[in-house]
Amino acid sequence: MPTDKLEKTLVSLDESAKNAFHLMDNLLNWSRSKLNRVTPKKVSFQLNNLVHETLGMFQTIINYKNLNLKVDLPPDVQLFADPDIFTCVMRNLFSNAIKYTPEGGMIKIKAIVAHDFVTIKVEDNGTGITPLEVQGLFNSTTSYTMPGLMNEKGSGLGLKLCREFTELNGGKIWADNTEKKGTRIHFTVPLVSA
């Protein structure tokens, strides 16, 4: 088998395994949240460490798609939230950004500290979403899913889970209308009280 074909097959297998894991984890978390069995265990943790650790989960596909990452995080930001819940939100947002960004595309992660919260923005230059889709994106009664640019499948649970988990951590989540210009999602997380 030629090296490039083998590499493509290995990346595909790696992504399939990770997607299956993320789907199972999302289903488990979603079912637990519906049964009111998710109780946040809020602690202090460093934003930079957890963002970079979560991005590391996607390094294979980031490299394969030759994606450009621009990470702009203020140093030494301490959050007060459940780190597992935070990681689940970040993982879903990163996964979507990667899924809908074309090869050689750009994904930006930026955090801005204001008052008692940090606002984190995950932005890509992928396919974007329509104004109608923005309205129902985080709605628990609608389901939004479409195949990624490499025909990756989704369950439609990821963004619902992001909304529920962001709220459990004491924050808010929203998306900008960016049809045909990519997607930009923001969410807030409480800072450690001074």
The pLDDT of residue 161:
84
User: Is the pLDDT reported for residue 17 higher than 80?
Assistant: no
Q: Token digits for 42? A: 């809020």
CATH fold of 3-190 = Heat Shock Protein 90 (3.30.565)
Please state, for a pLDDT cut of 90, what percent of the chain lies above it.
Answer: 47
d(CA 161, CA 32): 11
User: Is the pLDDT reported for residue 2 higher than 90?
Assistant: no
pLDDT band at 5 (very low <50, low <70, confident <90, very high): low
Beta strands per DSSP E along the chain: 43-46, 68-72, 78-81, 106-114, 117-124, 173-176, 184-190
Of 104-113, 162-171, 178-187, which one has max mean pLDDT? 104-113
The CA-based diameter of the chain, rounded to the nearest angstrom, is 59
The pLDDT of residue 129:
79
Instruction: Say if CB 10 and CB 60 are below 8 A apart.
Output: no
Question: CB count, 10 Å around CB of 182?
Answer: 22
Nearest to 128 by CA among 161, 169, 99: 99
Mean per-residue pLDDT, 103-108: 96
Q: Which residue has the higher pLDDT, 154 or 41?
A: 41
Report the amino acid identity of residue 47: L
Among 31-40, 75-84, 159-168, the least confident range: 31-40
The pLDDT of residue 147:
58
Among 38-42, 118-122, 134-138, the least confident range: 134-138
Whole-structure pTM value: 0.80
Mean per-residue pLDDT, 18-42: 62
